[in-house]
Structure formats: C-alpha cells, structure tokens
C-alpha cells in the first residue's frame, strides 16, 4: 500500500495488523461454525435455515479473504497455524447448538456471534477513521454485512 495512504505510526500499524488478524481468525471460526450448522440442521422446513446459514457462511469466508489481503498489503502475515485460530481470535469458537432442530438455539448462536463481529468492526472502523482510509473502508464494508447477518436472523425469531 502506498505510503501516502498511510497516516499511522509503525507501532499503530503493528497493532492494526494484530486487530485484523484477530478478526481474520474470527471469520474462519464463524465460517466453520455456520457451515457445520448448515450441514447438520434438521427439523421441519430445515432447508430454509440451511440456506440462511450457507449464505452467511459464504460471506464470512469472503471476509476472511478480504482481511488476509489487507494484512498482507499492510506488510503482515495472516495466522498460519489452524490450531492457533481460536487462541488468536477475539472470541471463543461459536459452538453450534447440539440440538440440530432447535431453531431458537441456532438463531441465538448466530446472533451472539454476529453481535461480537459488529463490535469488532465498529472498533476497527473507529480506530482507522481519518487515518487508514483503505482499512476504514474495509471495516465499514464488513460491518455492513455483519449487521445484515444479524438482521436476517433477528427476523427469523
């Protein structure tokens, strides 16, 4: 990324890369959890729930990829070891409910994860506003999609 876009000191940049890496780990965990939940969901009319879960899983994977690109652009490296994803994430693995036909529980598990994600991107957006325009833009773009995910599941209640 060209220096003229960057108004951040080296130590702030390091911290920002760490923030993006934590979000990167969150996105992998969310992608895995939602994909898993979509694969095992059961009960009457489960296909709709499966479709919603697959849709948001796909977008989490896009976020993961967008964050990886940004981390590399800023001179960092995304977390390499799969075993370290949870340790480096903002929140523990969002565990899909055991009861695969309990839609309230599924909605609750998604809403909790999305609520956490919204906080994470809000913080990154706040931190980068007026300083790191390209990162700010990415954070608000992802934030918008996380709000949308929360709304989709809020409306299923």
Instruction: Kindly list the residues in this chain that would bind Fe ion in the complex (CB under 5 A).
Output: 27, 60, 63, 146, 149
Residue 89: count of CB within 10 angstroms of its CB? 23
Kindly state the smallest distance separating residue 6's Cβ from Fe ion, in Å. Answer: 25
Closest CB to Fe ion among residues 41, 149: 149
Our CB check for Fe ion shows the closer of 7 and 141 to be 141
**Minimum distance from CB of 19 to Fe ion (Å)?**
14
Cα dihedral: 38, 141, 75, 2 (round 10): 150
In sequence order, the 6+-apart residues with CB closer than 8 A to the CB of 73 are: 1, 134
User: Cβ closer to Fe ion: 97 or 116?
Assistant: 116
Q: Which is nearer to Fe ion, 7 or 18 (CB)?
A: 18
Q: Is 93 left (phi over 0), alpha (psi -120 to 50) or beta?
A: beta
CB of 100 to Fe ion, least distance (A): 20
Residue 40 CB, nearest distance to Fe ion (Å)? 19
CA nearest neighbour of 79 among 26, 41, 125, 38:
26
């Amino acid at each position: 990324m060209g220096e003229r876009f960057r108004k951040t000191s080296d130590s702030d940049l390091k911290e920002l890369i760490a923030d993006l890496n934590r979000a990167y780990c969150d996105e992998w965990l969310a992608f895995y959890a939602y994909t898993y939940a979509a694969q095992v969901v059961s009960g009457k009319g489960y296909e709709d729930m499966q479709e919603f879960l697959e849709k948001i899983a796909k977008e989490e994977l896009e976020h993961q990829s967008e964050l990886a690109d940004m981390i590399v652009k800023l001179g960092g490296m995304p977390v390499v070891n799969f075993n370290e994803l949870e340790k480096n994430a903002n929140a523990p693995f969002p565990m899909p409910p055991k009861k695969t036909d309990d839609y309230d529980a599924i909605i609750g598990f998604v809403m909790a994860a999305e609520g956490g994600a919204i906080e994470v991107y809000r913080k990154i957006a706040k931190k980068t506003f007026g300083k790191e325009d390209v990162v700010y833009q990415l954070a608000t773009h992802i934030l918008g999609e996380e709000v949308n995910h929360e709304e989709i599941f809020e409306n299923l209640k």
